[in-house]
Structure 1
Amino acid sequence: MKTLLKALTVAGVVSAAGAAVAGEVEVLHWWTSGGEAKSVAELKKMMQAKGHTWKDFAVAGGAGDNAMTVLKSRVVSGNPPAAAQIKGPAIQEWAAEGGVADISAVAKANNWDKVLPSVVSQQMKYKGAYVAAPVNVHRVNWLWVNKAALDKVGGKAPANWDEFFALADKFKAAGIIPVAHGGQDWQDFTTFEAVVLGVGGAKFYNDALVKLDQKALKSPTMEKALTVFKKIQSYVDKGAPGRDWNLATAMVIQGKAGMQIMGDWAKGEFVAAGKAPGTDFVCAATPGSANAYTFNVDSFVMFKQKDANNAKAQGDLAAAILSPEFQEVFNLNKGSIPVRTDSKMDKFDSCAQQSNKDFLATAKNGGLQPSIAHGMAVSPAAAGAIKDAVSNYWNTNGMSAKDAMAKIAAAAQAK
């Protein structure tokens, strides 16, 4: 009763036609860094403005592996949160297990089929019904460079891997850590897919890491990509193992490191630190991938709620996620771009505008590819097995590219 009265106070005067209904939304996510937390806070404000109670269920860990472990235990116990951050093929797997909520009525009322690209909307559905709400579009194949460090060594953003290593050598000679990296398997995997994309191109990337074609996985091109990938490690500092991605980004922000390969959520950290693109940092496509775009779409799967008021609050949450207002403020903070095709980009910085331009262009030329490192391309089982093989290679001295290639090809057959 106290919760309802509080909600009515927030909502203002209640008409005789019907009282405002307050509910609770428990949201499971792993957005805990500066720029991410600021973005989540905006969604919380919108829900509180509607009179609902926001229950934050944050589980730290950039790739969400920890969050998924917690979610499984909650679902098995029959007490799932209202919404959980899940994406890509994993949405279909969770939906197949049962327990997800059908939010098609919310989608229809808000014209989701019209404002979402079909490649995105199809991922949000299970057997034709919406079960998830997309939040944004991230470009994964970004290279971030400290502008002052770049100017100091007289370099420019590298267009290919030869230029990347030449710049790395300049940073090293200047006493700057060439590459900021966090030694976690998902960060290794992010770097690996960027190298495969840059060395082999979008078609090869699709054959090898989306279709998991054995011929491509065992090809000379893959061997070359693995050789380049391992060479990058020689430019990483000894403190990398176990480092969170945002701490690696901070190294670039502070000028301790020259560059970082990371998705555009890293830009949220630069912005939160008061840095501006072009002035304090440079954003460029990872070497060799200017005409390609690996994407990651964050989304929230909705789970069935036993309480009717909570179910209503859940619907309001889904609607709020795709509202033009939230899409703008969230993505301005997060570093990503809106998932709505009708979003205005005039308030976004040059990196986001370039991302949006490239997103639309690559969607037409075949360069738009789902990120395997971020759960958009293949089943979690296959992605997990390949990720383990990639990190094993990264962390094992003396392993040849040929041996690593064989292990990755074998891992790709995991079901």
Structure 2
Amino acid sequence: MSKQFSLSVVALAAILGMSAAQADELEVLHWWTSGGEAKAAAELKKQMEAEGHTWKDFAVAGGGGDSAMTVLKSRVISGNAPAAAQIKGPALQEWAAEGVLANIDDVAKAEKWDAVLPPVVANVMKYKGHYIAAPVNVHRVNWLWANPEAFKKAGAKVPTTWDEFFVAGDKLKAAGIIPLAHGGQNWQDFTVFEDVVMGVGGPEFYRSALVKLDPAAINSPTMIKVLDTFKKIHGYTDKNAPGRDWNLATAMVIKGEAGMQLMGDWAKGEFLNAGKVPGKDFVCSPAPGTAKDYTFNIDSFAMFQLKNKDNEKAQKDLAKAIMSPSFQELFNLNKGSIPVRLDVKLDKFDDCAKESNRDFVASSKANTLLPSIAHGMAVPPAAEGAIKDAVSKFWNDDKETSKDAQAEILKASKTK
């Protein structure tokens, strides 16, 4: 990150033309701009305004958050950081190491965060033992979403293995339905890829290859099998996939234009926003071969050091609100995710969320709870970006072999 912070402060300030935040103003950077996400973000805004703070929405479109991070870096370099920004996983540690994040231990201690958060979550929110971010939710990434009417029309069943996926895909194709709704962006490609890594190789292989970046795992025959399977899946997407946003792919499943989507449970927010009922209008199922495993993506807000000390109370109130049981329930009902707190009742949540929560707790105990590299939870951003690019190149290049891709991924994994 230090290299990225070497841009001209004066030039960036001139380009951005940003003014300092007003007193008691709470500027929040996020990328929740699709239907279900925007609804969830509006609830947070409503709660802050009810407490007397002025919410300044700083939304940057783009489901993966890459655009938001580019804008955030510019703001921080120009000395005009927002009060809070949506940052995840190892990137939190990099921002903290730059000395720009605020210590919110006082809020965490008063609200007893250590007692209500799973250790795997609490550790991500800390830098050198101190809280620097507030977690909002837990998303399960390894979900498959299906339109039951499309499957009924095709005479197919929702797959639980990759072999079954291809059988179902052929039947959907024969019925004139796109088997897999997909958007051609590198994080979406990698969401599918890590599902295949888990489904083909299992949790230990996933941990070795995508978390530890172990050269032996990446260079193994298992990885070749993963890549062969991954490439075969590409043939079940449509030619208009490149560049498509994830929520537009979800809409294809909602409308019955496509039978399935491999996407995290934020997709459920789109189904719910469209008035669809889980178990009736859509099916949620773990990605093929991953029924007992769980790849997670945790949304969190990092708190930045502020020039205007008058805004610190609003910032601390935001951290407190994010972790409150009432907000955890309300927000996650809209977002499609599950509360990050272990003490929130799930009475109002649907069966997909309840299954996600059961598997989250069970996976945590079984040590099969694994961070998603596609969503910035597993490895440092530089290596993540390089690996994503290598995987997308393979996905889109008909001439590249699995052996070639294996070598590219191995090289990318060493990026610092």
Matched, 1:133 2:134: yes
The answer (yes or no) to whether the contact 2:186–2:389 under 8 Å persists in 1 is yes
Q: Which residue of 2 aligns with 1:401?
A: 402
TM-score of the superposition, structure 2-length normalised? 0.94
Aligned identity (percent) is 70
Q: Provide the rounded CA distance (Å) in 1 between the counterparts of 2:61 and 2:227.
A: 30
Residues 15-414 of structure 1: pairs in structure 2 closer than 5 A = 23-414=24-415
Q: How much does 1:392 deviate? A: 0.5
SS at match of 2:330: helix
Q: How much does 1:277 deviate? A: 0.9
Q: What amino acid is aligned across from residue 341 of structure 1 in structure 2?
A: L
SS at match of 1:383: helix
Q: How much does 1:307 deviate? A: 1.9
SS at match of 2:228: helix
SS at match of 2:58: strand
Q: Provide the rounded CA distance (Å) in 1 between the counterparts of 2:90 and 2:142.
A: 20
- Please list every run of 5 or more consecutive structure 2 residues that lacks an aligned counterpart in the other structure: 1-22
Q: Which residue of 2 aligns with 1:13?
A: none
Q: What amino acid is aligned across from residue 360 of structure 1 in structure 2?
A: V
Q: What amino acid is aligned across from residue 94 of structure 2 in structure 1?
A: E
TM-superposition CA deviations, 1:227-276 (whole Å, max 9, x none) = 11011111111110100000000000000000000000000000000001
Q: Provide the rounded CA distance (Å) in 2 between the counterparts of 1:105 and 1:314.
A: 12
- Please list every run of 5 or more consecutive structure 1 residues that lacks an aligned counterpart in the other structure: 1-21
Worse-superposed segment, 360-369 or 180-189: 360-369
TM-score of the superposition, structure 1-length normalised? 0.94
Q: Which residue of 1 aligns with 2:10?
A: none
TM-superposition CA deviations, 1:70-116 (whole Å, max 9, x none) = 00010001000000000101000000001111111111111111111
SS at match of 2:233: helix
Q: Which residue of 2 aligns with 1:6?
A: none
SS at match of 1:378: coil
Q: What amino acid is aligned across from residue 102 of structure 2 in structure 1?
A: A
SS at match of 1:122: helix
SS at match of 1:239: coil
Q: Provide the rounded CA distance (Å) in 1 between the counterparts of 2:332 and 2:375.
A: 18
Q: Provide the rounded CA distance (Å) in 1 between the counterparts of 2:173 and 2:100.
A: 53
SS at match of 1:266: helix
Q: Provide the rounded CA distance (Å) in 2 between the counterparts of 1:86 and 1:294.
A: 18
Q: How much does 1:159 deviate? A: 1.1
Q: How much does 1:291 deviate? A: 1.0
Report how many residues are paired: 395
Q: How much does 1:153 deviate? A: 2.0
Q: What amino acid is aligned across from residue 283 of structure 1 in structure 2?
A: C
Q: Provide the rounded CA distance (Å) in 2 between the counterparts of 1:23 and 1:109.
A: 22
SS at match of 2:261: strand
The answer (yes or no) to whether the contact 2:156–2:172 under 8 Å persists in 1 is no
Q: Provide the rounded CA distance (Å) in 2 between the counterparts of 1:54 and 1:156.
A: 47
SS at match of 2:124: coil
TM-superposition CA deviations, 1:43-78 (whole Å, max 9, x none) = 000000011000000000111000000000100010
